[in-house]
Chain A
Amino acid sequence: MPKSLHSSLPGAESTPNILLILFDAWSAANLSLYGYPRRTTPNLERLAEKAIVYHNHHAGGHFTTPGTASLLTGTTPWTHQAFNFNGNVTERLLERNLFRTFEAYHRLAYTHNPLANTLLRQFMADINDFTSWEQLYLENDPLINSLFQKDYDVAAIGWNRALKRLDEGYAYSLYVSQFYETYKRKRVEKLLPSYPRGVPNYDGLAFFTLEEAIDWVSSVIGVAPQPFLGYFHFLPPHDPYHTHIDHYDAFNSDGYHPASKSAHPLRGEYSDATIHQQRRWYDEFILHVDDQFAKLYAYLEENGKLENTWLILTSDHGEMFERGILAHNQPVYHRPIINVPLMIFPPGQSQRVDIFEATSAIDLLPTLAHIAEQPRPDWSEGRVMSPFATGNLETRDLTTIHVQERQSNGAVSAATAMLIRDTYKLMWYFGYEQLETGEFIELYDTASDPEEIHNLYPQEKARADEILTVLQAKLDALNAELVG
Chain B
Amino acid sequence: MAKTPSIFFVSPCILAPLRYIFVMNIFKLSKPNLWTLFLMAAFPTHVWTILLAFQDFSWMAERNNSWDAIGVGAYGLLAAFVESVFVFAIALLLSLLLPRVWDEKKRLVTLTGLIFAIAIAEILNQLYFLMRWEMPAGVFTLIIHSSHPLWYLYGLPLFVSILGTGLLFYFSVVSAKFVDGVLNSIERLSLLTTLYLLLDFVGLIIVIIRNV
User: Interface on A for B, CB 8 Å cutoff?
Assistant: 147-151, 154-155, 157-159, 161-163, 165, 168-176, 178
Which residues of B have CB within 8 Å of A149? 211
CA distance A169 to B68 in the complex (A): 24
Q: Flag whether B143 is at the interface (Cβ < 8 A).
A: no
Of chain A, the residue at the smallest CB distance from B120 is A174
Q: Do A161 and B45 form a contact, CB below 8 Å, given A172-B52, A174-B83? A: no
Q: Within the complex, which residue of A163, A171, A175 is in contact with B87, where a contact is CB–CB below 8 Å?
A: A175
Q: Within the complex, which residue of A151, A158, A171, A176 is in contact with B211, where a contact is CB–CB below 8 Å?
A: A151
Q: Mark B26-53, 1 if CB is under 8 A from A, else 0.
A: 0000000000000000001100110011
B45:A154 contact, CB within 8 angstroms: no
Of chain A, the residue at the smallest CB distance from B53 is A172
CA distance A158 to B68 in the complex (A): 10
* Distance in Å: Cβ of A163 to nearest Cβ of chain B: 7
Q: Flag whether B56 is at the interface (Cβ < 8 A).
A: yes
B71:A162 contact, CB within 8 angstroms: no
* Distance in Å: Cβ of A454 to nearest Cβ of chain B: 45
Which of the 9-residue segments B101-109, B125-133, B171-179 touches chain A?
B125-133
* Distance in Å: Cβ of A361 to nearest Cβ of chain B: 27
Q: Flag whether B64 is at the interface (Cβ < 8 A).
A: yes
CA distance A163 to B48 in the complex (A): 13
B72:A175 contact, CB within 8 angstroms: no
CA distance A169 to B124 in the complex (A): 11
Which residues of B have CB within 8 Å of A172? 48-49, 52-53, 76, 79-80
Q: Within the complex, which residue of B52, B87, B212 is in contact with A161, where a contact is CB–CB below 8 Å?
A: B52
* Distance in Å: Cβ of B161 to nearest Cβ of chain A: 15
Of chain A, the residue at the smallest CB distance from B67 is A154
A150:B83 contact, CB within 8 angstroms: no
A158:B129 contact, CB within 8 angstroms: no
A151:B49 contact, CB within 8 angstroms: no
Q: Within the complex, which residue of A150, A161, A169, A178 is in contact with B76, where a contact is CB–CB below 8 Å?
A: A161
Closest 3 A-B residue pairs measured CB to CB? A158-B75, A169-B129, A162-B79
* Distance in Å: Cβ of B62 to nearest Cβ of chain A: 12
Within 60-83 of B, Cβ neighbours of A (below 8 Å) are at: 60, 64, 68, 71-76, 79-80, 82-83
B211:A148 contact, CB within 8 angstroms: yes
Of chain A, the residue at the smallest CB distance from B128 is A169
Which residues of A have CB within 8 Å of B126? 165, 169-171, 174
Q: Flag whether B18 is at the interface (Cβ < 8 A).
A: no
Which residues of B have CB within 8 Å of A175? 45, 83, 86-87, 118, 122
B210:A150 contact, CB within 8 angstroms: yes
B83:A176 contact, CB within 8 angstroms: yes
Q: Flag whether B207 is at the interface (Cβ < 8 A).
A: yes
Q: Mark B107-149, 1 if CB is under 8 A from A, else 0.
A: 0000000000011001100111110000000000000000000
CA distance A170 to B127 in the complex (A): 8
B75:A174 contact, CB within 8 angstroms: no
Q: Within the complex, which residue of B44, B56, B71, B72 is in contact with A174, where a contact is CB–CB below 8 Å?
A: B44
CA distance A147 to B204 in the complex (A): 13
A161:B119 contact, CB within 8 angstroms: no
B210:A168 contact, CB within 8 angstroms: no
CA distance A165 to B127 in the complex (A): 12
Which residues of A have CB within 8 Å of B127? 170
CA distance A292 to B49 in the complex (A): 42
Of chain A, the residue at the smallest CB distance from B123 is A174
Q: Do A158 and B83 form a contact, CB below 8 Å, given A169-B128, A171-B126, A174-B48? A: no
List 11 other contacts, CB 8 Å, given A162-B75, A174-B45. A148-B210, A151-B71, A155-B75, A158-B73, A161-B72, A163-B79, A168-B130, A169-B129, A169-B130, A174-B83, A175-B45
A173:B80 contact, CB within 8 angstroms: yes
* Distance in Å: Cβ of A175 to nearest Cβ of chain B: 6
B130:A173 contact, CB within 8 angstroms: no
CA distance A170 to B132 in the complex (A): 11
Of chain A, the residue at the smallest CB distance from B127 is A170
A151:B210 contact, CB within 8 angstroms: yes
Of chain B, the residue at the smallest CB distance from A155 is B75
Q: Within the complex, which residue of B53, B74, B129 is in contact with A170, where a contact is CB–CB below 8 Å?
A: B129
Which residues of B have CB within 8 Å of A178? 122
CA distance A170 to B45 in the complex (A): 13
CA distance A154 to B68 in the complex (A): 6
Q: Mark B172-212, 1 if CB is under 8 A from A, else 0.
A: 00000000000000000000000000000000000100111
* Distance in Å: Cβ of A462 to nearest Cβ of chain B: 48
B122:A158 contact, CB within 8 angstroms: no
B71:A158 contact, CB within 8 angstroms: yes
CA distance A155 to B87 in the complex (A): 23
CA distance A157 to B207 in the complex (A): 13
7 contacts between A and B (CB under 8 A): A147-B211, A151-B207, A162-B75, A168-B129, A169-B129, A172-B79, A175-B45
CA distance A176 to B211 in the complex (A): 25
CA distance A161 to B49 in the complex (A): 9
Q: Do A174 and B119 form a contact, CB below 8 Å, given A148-B211, A169-B126? A: yes
CA distance A183 to B212 in the complex (A): 32
* Distance in Å: Cβ of A180 to nearest Cβ of chain B: 10
CA distance A138 to B204 in the complex (A): 27
CA distance A173 to B76 in the complex (A): 8
Which residues of B have CB within 8 Å of A174? 44-45, 48, 83, 119, 122-123, 126
Which residues of A have CB within 8 Å of B49? 162, 172-173
B71:A154 contact, CB within 8 angstroms: yes
Q: Do A162 and B122 form a contact, CB below 8 Å, given A172-B48, A175-B87? A: no
Which residues of A have CB within 8 Å of B72? 154, 157-158, 161
